[in-house]
Amino acid sequence: MTRTVVVIDDNEPFRSWACDLLAREGYAVIGHAGAGADALRLAEALRPDVLVLDVQLPDMSGFEVLRRLPGGAGATEVVLISARDRDDYGSAVLHSGARAFIGKSELSGRALRAVLDEAS
């Protein structure tokens, strides 16, 4: 079954190429946006299987988005992405409720599948 994805990242070239790549690699990209508030809105409205969420957003951090998601992430699996390393965030990723963390330069359909399948 094709997984639905929403991509949240304020770096537009990155976001657009990431959507393109994920679509090419078998995901249904049903939404994308560049801010935490949009992430909350889209997660609620579209109920995607996967929310690819940048940690550093202009209005709030990805951790804050996770804290504000109604009923946690629900059926949506949140994958945090960042230009920084996972270790740079200490235990914050672990405590965030996110399913996984992928470095932005490593993000691909294959990488996403690997962490999702591993996590579930």
Residues that bind another protein (CB under 8 A): 11, 13-14, 17-18, 20-21, 24-25, 56, 61, 63, 83-85, 87-92, 104-105, 107-108
Nearer to another protein, 87 or 118 (CB): 87
Tell me how far, at minimum, the Cβ of 64 lies from another protein, in Å: 9
Distance, CA of 71 to CA of 40 (rounded, Å): 12
Of the two residues 68 and 84, which places its CB atom closer to another protein in the complex? Answer: 84
Closest CA to 99 of 58, 68, 66, 71: 66
